[in-house]
Amino acid sequence: MRVLLTGAAGFIGSHIRHIMEAAGHEVVAIDLMLTAAHGPAVNPPEGVERIDIRVPAALDNQLTGIDVVCHQAAVVGAGVSAQDAPAYASHNDLGTAVLLAAMTRAGCRRLVLASSMVVYGEGLYCTSGFESRVPAPRIRADLDRGFFEHRDPQTGEALGWEPVGEDTPVRPRSLYAASKVAQEHYAAAWATATESAVTALRYHNVYGDGMPRDTPYSGVAALFRSALAAGQSPRVFEDGCQMRDFVHVRDIAAANLAAAERPMQGFVALNIASGRPIAIGEVARLLAAAHSGPDPVVTGEYRPGDVRHIVASPERAHQLLGFTASIGPEPGLAEFAHSPLRATAGAGAPAW
């Protein structure tokens, strides 16, 4: 199979390239090499061509004979500043639209799209009677006095979390999330218009070797790692009980390989997660213990826009792709405590 891989030099893309080639597929690897992801003046790795997917002519040359496109190229992060919006819209959304148009011209009708759990926003919660609901925003007065859970607006009781399935409506709460929803919508509309196939993989909290170092756009696992490398305690916000699903980058790569090798019809979204939820405070504790560093500090600080809990159900990916994550959070995080990180990363989102 001949695969066009965008974002091939990135954290996730480099792992996907390795597993695709190991499986015997021919990979056409392209990457824009943005400073925000790779640092200044970094040349593409061997076998990767510097291509801007927003340039139609450049894509036309790359798509000859391609069976499936694995689209990883994106500006990432939680949307640290409102000034990042043009970068997300340009690189993520315009880039995806230009790619889809080029795929149509080339007659390529299969796309594996890197999406994210951020499309769900707050996720799903339930009352003590197990009634599912999307919560109202948390109240600042509760946060100020250290009560961090969502409340039932009628009874005032704390709401529990429940796994989010792919049929849950998308409710983006950050600029980055809005761009990922837009990518999905473009891809779904393209699949309908051209009778093509799209598998959108909604990654949960990805970590592993090659992850960028401490920047405002890094994942929390890298922030904790960077603190430990500096001899400092990881700083955990709220009470540390926020639940997440941490999935190793090698499992993310395996999911992409499975999606590329198993064509589906129309647009299909799948959660890609370990299926083993873990509290943020426990992530910090495991990393600190494995690193033999100082214990985490639970600060009680909060950011008003943060999501309290977001945990996935990975059942559909198992059913449709035969994919089950192989690396649990405990061994994965213990390994990550000593894994190499990217030595250089940019300080912010790129110009658009």
Lowest mean pLDDT among 9-23, 73-87, 202-216, 300-314: 73-87
Residue 166, Ramachandran bin (φ over 0: left; ψ between -120 and 50: alpha; else beta):
alpha
SS3 254: helix
SS3 274: coil
The amino acid at 269: A
Query: Does residue 36 or residue 265 have the better pLDDT?
Result: 265
Instruction: State the average pLDDT over residues 221-226.
Output: 92
Q: Quick one: which of 303, 153, 144, 147 has its CA closest to 223?
A: 303
pLDDT digits (tens, 9 = 90+) for 228-255: 999 999 999 999 999 999 999 999 999 9
Instruction: State the average pLDDT over residues 77-101.
Output: 88
pLDDT at 332: 97
> At a CB cut-off of 8 Å and minimum separation 6, what does 11 contact?
37, 206, 208, 210, 211, 212, 249, 342
pLDDT at 218: 67
Instruction: State the average pLDDT over residues 44-60.
Output: 95
pLDDT classification of 216: cutoffs 50, 70, 90: low
* Predicted TM-score (pTM) of this structure: 0.95
Burial of 214 (0-12, 13-18, 19+ CB in 10 A): middle
Two tokens at 151? 């409340």
pLDDT at 258: 98
Q: Are 10 and 37 in contact (CB under 8 A)?
A: yes
pLDDT at 39: 72
Q: Are 120 and 112 in contact (CB under 8 A)?
A: no
Instruction: State the average pLDDT over residues 301-309.
Output: 89
Instruction: State the average pLDDT over residues 266-293.
Output: 97
pLDDT at 341: 86
352 pLDDT above the threshold of 70:
no
| Rounded CA separation 209/334 (Å) | 12
| Rounded CA separation 209/312 (Å) | 23
pLDDT at 228: 94
pLDDT classification of 215: cutoffs 50, 70, 90: low
Residue with tokens 């589906």: 264
Domain ranges of the chain: 2-123+164-337
Q: Quick one: which of 125, 134, 114, 3 has its CA closest to 68?
A: 3
pLDDT at 305: 77
pLDDT classification of 351: cutoffs 50, 70, 90: low
348 pLDDT above the threshold of 80:
no
154 pLDDT above the threshold of 90:
no
- What percentage of the chain has pLDDT greater than the value 70? 94
pLDDT at 76: 85
pLDDT classification of 51: cutoffs 50, 70, 90: very high
Please report, for residues 111, 113, 142, 148, 306, the alpha-carbon distance to residue 238 in angstroms, rounded to integers and kept in the order given. Answer: 39, 33, 11, 7, 10
pLDDT at 213: 79
Instruction: State the average pLDDT over residues 249-264.
Output: 97
286 pLDDT above the threshold of 70:
yes
pLDDT at 116: 96
pLDDT digits (tens, 9 = 90+) for 115-147: 999 999 988 998 876 677 788 889 999 999 999
Q: Given 3.55.40.20, 3.40.50.300, 3.40.50.720, 3.40.720.10, which CATH number is that of 2-123+164-337?
A: 3.40.50.720
